[in-house]
Structure 1
Amino acid sequence: MNWDQIKGKWMQVKGKAKEQWGDLTDDDLDRIEGNRDQFVGRIQERYGIAKEEAQRQLDDWSRRLD
C-alpha cells in the first residue's frame, strides 16, 4: 500500500500499526495521521533505533498491508 492510500485509510490501518509497534501510544498514532515522516520519527523515539532502521521497518510494514 502506498502512503497516499495509508493516509486516506489511516483510521483503519492505525490499529495494525499499534499491533506492529505496541510502544506507540494512541496519542502518537492520532498525531501521526498517516504522515510518513512523523511515523518514522515516533518509531525512532519510542524504540531508540536509527532513522534508516525505522524507515526500513515502516516500508516492510506498508508492503504487508496490501
Structure 2
Amino acid sequence: MNWDTIQGNWKQLTGRAKQQWGKLTDDDLQVVEGHRDMLSGKIQERYGIAKDEADKQVSAWEKSSDDTWLDAGTRTRRD
C-alpha cells in the first residue's frame, strides 16, 4: 500500500496504528492525520528511539498493511 492510500484512509487505519504502537494516544494519531513524517516523529517521541529506527518501523507497518487493512471492498491486492 502506498502512503497516499494510507493518508486517504487514515481514520480507518488509526486502530491498526494503535495496535502497533500502543503508546501513541488518540490525540497523537489525530495530529498526525496520516502524515508519515509526523507519525515517525511521534513514535520517536513516545518510545525514545532514533529517527532511523522509527522510520524502519513505519516502513514495516506500511508493508504489513498491504494485505490486512480495511474491508474486502476497499482492499486491493497485487497478485
TM-score, normalized by length of structure 2? 0.82
CA RMSD of the aligned region, Å? 0.4
Alignment of 1:1-66 (within 5 A): 1-66=1-66
In 2, Cα distance between the equivalents of 1:33 and 1:6? 10
Once superposed, which parts of structure 1, at least 4 consecutive aligned residues long, lie more than 6 Å away?
none
Determine which structure has greater relative contact order: mean sequence separation of CA pairs < 8 Å that are 6+ residues apart, divided by chain length. 1
AA partner of residue 65 (structure 2): L
Structure 1: which 5+ runs fail to align? none
- 2:70 — aligned with what? none
TM-score, normalized by length of structure 1? 0.98
May I ask how many residue pairs the two structures share in their alignment? 66
Q: Deviations over 1:32-66 (max 9, x none)?
A: 00001100100000000000000000000000001
Q: Which has the higher helix share?
A: 1
Q: Which has the larger radius of gyration?
A: 2
